[in-house]
Structure formats: structure tokens, C-alpha cells
Structure 1
Amino acid sequence: MPLSDIVRALNAPATGKRPDFLYRSGLDHPFVAAEGRVFIHYANIRLESKFLPVVDTRSGRTHGHASTIQAFGLSNSVPMSPDAVFVLPTDAEEFVYLDRLVRTLHALNYLTQPVRGNLLLRVHSRHIISVPANHGLAFEEILRPCGLLPEQITLEINTDAVADKEHFIRAVASYRSRGYGIAISHFGRTELDFPFLSQLRPDIVKLDNLLLASGRPLDRIIDNIHELGGRILIEGIDSANLRRNASSLAIDLVQAHAPILRPSGIRIRRNADGGEQLDAAA
């Protein structure tokens, strides 16, 4: 189905093709298709998808992409941080709606990628806590009209400083039972909780940059994660020393950084050698 037709169906609950999970009174028709891409208009903000390549360090091939949002004011085009967007919902219901909406945006735009592979999609911790059970069911219903299956998706979850670990264990088990892959982000930011990690059994573990910068020996940490069946991912190919030694450190995957946005309309892009380059905003 053409992308414009998928967007039309998702925007129109009257067709019966749009999942109820994407409808909120006053927030219908959130998707905008233009220039071969899809955008979201939400709370006077334009949300765009950005895909960051994830590369297998051994083969050099693209494993897939991690998704992130780029947000701009509709009236002034001033960029906002992704975290600032998720402060806007006024209650748990709207937060869950926005979280699903953003993941749907990424799924739609990923259909246009020339080289795809696995798609990493963030699921916010507040979303997981706000949904009592059957995690992943609603999003599976959203993926179906996009022509994607849960097996093509890895859900990235931040478990750092989680209070209700049992809830997260049940949520991850539900996601996994539906076919989603699981990635744990920010591991080692405040603690190395291997017992919790062993109960989650993630496919990918993203080491936090604070851990990487701490100078702490990584060999045993990486060995422990590999023993649990997880692959190691580091974020930021500008970490020159880690990139050069990725193979010797048994790091499996490397993910690029998102470009830094500036209100002037200039983007500062980090080069692979750790430097920065100025790009005019698209």
C-alpha cells in the first residue's frame, strides 16, 4: 500500500482501519505526508523521524537503525529537544498516546528507508508503568497497517533506577511473547544490576556513556552481558578510542549519535573521527 494511503487510513477512524489507540478527541489527523516522508503535528510542534545507523562491528554491515525524533515549533521553526516534547502530556493517558504516536511515525518513515534491517524504537519508562498489562498488543495493531511485524522491531527500554522492577519484568515478557526484540539502554549509568538484567534477558544492551567515560574496566562487564545472551552496543561513533578497539573489547554494535540542532538553523554534525562539521538545516 502506498505511504499516502496508509497515512490516510491512520488519520481516518471512520474507515475502520485506524486503531483506537491512535485517536484522542481534538488530536485527530496527526499524520502529515509530504515530500515522501511523514510528519506529526502535535501541540503546535512538528515532529520528524531521524534514523541513526547501527553497524555490526565484525561484518561492517548495517544491523539496522535506532530512531529518534527531531522537533520544531510550527510557527517559529525553533528546535526542541525530544525530552522537552515528552514533558507536554498532561496525564498518563496522553503520555501513552504520544509515545505510541511517535513510534508509529518512525514505523511509517522506516518504510521509505533504502536499507532497513532491524528498527530500534524507544518505549518510555512512564509508558510501561502507565500500561497495566498486555504490553505490545496495542502497538502490534498499529504496526499491521504499516506492513511491519513485531519481529522487525527491537523495543529500547531505559531500566535505570526503575522502582517497580516486577512490573518491568512482566512488561518485557509480554513484549517478547509477541515477537519484539528487547534492548536495554543506559546500562551502568547508576548501577550494574546484573540480577535484574538476567530476568529481562535483553537481546541488546546499550552501555551508558557515563560508564564508558568512567575508565572502569569493561571486559568483565561485557563478558557478563554476553553470558546472558545479550549483544553489546555503544552509542557515539565519535568515541574514537572505543571505536578503534571495538573488536578487542568484544563490542558487537555501534550506533551513531544524533546531530545537534541549533536555533540558528545550523546543524552541527559529529564526524566519524570525533570532529564536528556545520551543515545547513534541511
Structure 2
Amino acid sequence: MPLQQLVEYFNDRLEQEHNDGVRPFVLENGAVHGLFGPIKVGSILAPIRETLRSSHVVGHIAQLTVAANPILTLQGNELDNLVNLPRAPGNSDSVINFDRLARTVHMLNYLPQSHLDELLFLHVDPRHILGVKADHGAYFEEIIVKCGLQTGNVAIALNVSNAYARFFPSLQKGLENYQRRGYKLALKFDIQSLEKSALELISRLAPDFVGLSAENLDQVRDSQLPGKIQQLNSLVASVKGRSILLDIDDKRGAALARQSGFGLVQGRYFELPVTSANKPDAGNKVSKPQSYQSRRAV
């Protein structure tokens, strides 16, 4: 189905579901955006690459762009204030509706470049998982199928934060519902969140992918850091997952990925033209990373 027809189909669907006359999806210059109150959201699709064959893309992480809704007029720095406002934890319906709208936007923007052997990584808000009591992934599965893909083409990605540690059992149940429907599963951590409860979550869920953010890693003053990274990669390998070093901005991060055994990489460094500033050092020999196999075939 042509992209414009899909946009109209999902507009019709949401208009009927909410009975409010709102048609949030718009197609502009070949890109789909979603209108949500005073903001307009869009997509950036960031490639995930094989570490040792960075020309080989295995999938894309969908990242959200936010701009002012042109239908509504915002004054001064109102947009910045709205984006930075903490969202009310109890307003689960609003979180769920926004999460579904954003993921639909990403799915529609992914379609023109989709390949059956690649994955689309879609972030889900933990409050969405906690707010839906059963059948996680059922609603979005209908969207995926309408777009001509399957749940196996999508990896549900969750940022794991210490703030949600006491909710890990409930999050686990929701994520297991996604797994039962055939979705791939990806968990993302920063180094500060790699505590015992987070590692136990990896062991219990056996995710297909585990990502670690490289952001600010060079500023971490922790003599145990190499050991923590090795422990993470060993754990991921033991559950037959694949490890990803994310948010790589420079060649130091790329070298860390190779030396530490991350099978996959993502970041601005790999999208920049090669210059003397970011070209890998030819004489820099690195140890061969371990070989990882996805728990389910990609």
C-alpha cells in the first residue's frame, strides 16, 4: 500500500478510536510526522552496524525529532519548556497514546527503506509497559502487519534505569508478552545502571540485544570499568544475545567496541566522512571480539 494511503488509513483509525476528529499523521516531502498537542514529532533512523564490518547494516534505531506543531502557535521558548517538563507519572493513558503515535510514525518512515533481513529498533516508554495490564504488543502488531511486516522485524527497546529497579518484575512480565508475540527484545543501559538487579534482568529475559551507551564513558573514573564491560559482554553471550556499543562519537569509542568484544556498533562516528581526525589508526591492533549469535535469526 502506498505511504499516503497508509497515512490516511491510520488517521481514519485513530479518528474512530478517539472520536475527536483529530487526524495526527501528515506526510510532508516524503516523511511522516505526527501531531500531538503543541508538538510535531518525526524520525531519524540511526544505523546499527557490525563492528568488524561497519558497512554491513543489521538494523536501525528510530530516534524522535520534536518541533512545534505548525497548527498551534507557541510563544517564545514555550516549546523548550514543554519538551523539558517532567511528565506526570500517573497519566498513563497520555504516555501510551504518545508512545503509540511515535512508534507508528517511525514504522511509516522506515517502510520506504525496509529490508526483510534488517530490524527496526523501537523504544518503548517503561510507563507504557507498566500502564498496559495485558496483551503487550497486540495493538502495535496490527500496525506492523498493515505495513506488510512482521513482529520479528521489530525489536522493542527499553532504556533500563535504576529509577525503575523496583518495577523490574512488572516490566519483565510486559516484555515477556512482547517476546511471546515474536518481537525481538533489546535492553539499553548506561554504565551507572549496570547493577546486580539489571544483570539479573538480562539473565531472566535473555534479550536478543543488549546495548551500552558510550556517552561519557571516557569520563568515568572507575578502575573496575573494563571488568564491568567484560562481565556484561560475557553475560550477553551466555544468553545467546548480541551486544551493541551505542552513541559512539569518536574513534576512541570505536576502538573500545572492537577491543571489548561488542558485536555491533551505532553512533555519529560511523556516519561522518573519513578525515584525519576520525580515521582509525592503522597500527592500532585490537583483540578479536567474541562471536555472538542472535537468539533468534535476524
Using structure 1 for the length normalisation, give the TM-score.
0.81
> What do the CA deviations read for 1:152-193 (whole angstroms, capped 9, x no partner)?
000101232222222112111110111110000125423333
Which residue does the alignment assign to 1:195?
200
> Secondary structure of the residue that 1:111 maps to in structure 2?
helix
Question: Percent identity of the aligned residues?
Answer: 26
Q: CA deviation at 1:4?
A: 0.4
Q: CA deviation at 1:248?
A: 2.8
Are residues 1:4 and 2:8 paired?
no
Q: CA deviation at 1:200?
A: 1.3
Which residue does the alignment assign to 1:29?
23
Counterpart residue identity of residue 53, structure 2: S
CA 82–150 in structure 1, closer or farther in 2 if over 3 Å, else same: farther
**In structure 2, C-alpha distance between the alignment counterparts of 1:190 and 1:274, rounded to whole Å:** 34
Structure showing the higher strand proportion among its residues? 1
Which residue does the alignment assign to 2:283?
none
> What do the CA deviations read for 1:175-228 (whole angstroms, capped 9, x no partner)?
011111000012542333322211111111111346834351122332222112
Which residue does the alignment assign to 1:139?
140
Mapping 1:1-282, distance limit 5 Å:
1-13=1-13, 23-26=17-20, 28-60=22-54, 61-73=56-68, 74=70, 75=73, 84=84, 87=87, 91-113=91-113, 117-161=118-162, 162=164, 163-192=166-195, 193-209=198-214, 212-213=217-218, 214=220, 215=222, 216-217=225-226, 218-257=229-268
Which residue does the alignment assign to 1:264?
none
Give aligned pairs, total: 260
CA 71–90 in structure 1, closer or farther in 2 if over 3 Å, else same: farther
Which residue does the alignment assign to 2:285?
none
Structure showing the higher helix proportion among its residues? 2
Q: CA RMSD in A?
A: 3.2
**In structure 2, C-alpha distance between the alignment counterparts of 1:7 and 1:29, rounded to whole Å:** 9
For structure 2, which runs of at least 5 residues remain unmatched after alignment?
A: 279-298
For structure 1, which runs of at least 5 residues remain unmatched after alignment?
A: 259-268, 277-282
Structure 1 stretches of at least 4 aligned residues deviating more than 6 Å after TM superposition: 76-79, 269-276
Q: CA deviation at 1:66?
A: 0.3
> Secondary structure of the residue that 2:257 maps to in structure 1?
coil
CA 19–173 in structure 1, closer or farther in 2 if over 3 Å, else same: farther
> What do the CA deviations read for 1:95-148 (whole angstroms, capped 9, x no partner)?
101101100000000012276821000001110111111111111012222222
> Secondary structure of the residue that 2:33 maps to in structure 1?
strand
> What do the CA deviations read for 1:11-56 (whole angstroms, capped 9, x no partner)?
113xxxx697xx4343621000121111111112121111111101
**In structure 2, C-alpha distance between the alignment counterparts of 1:274 and 1:31, rounded to whole Å:** 43
Residues 222-231 or 78-87, more deviating: 78-87
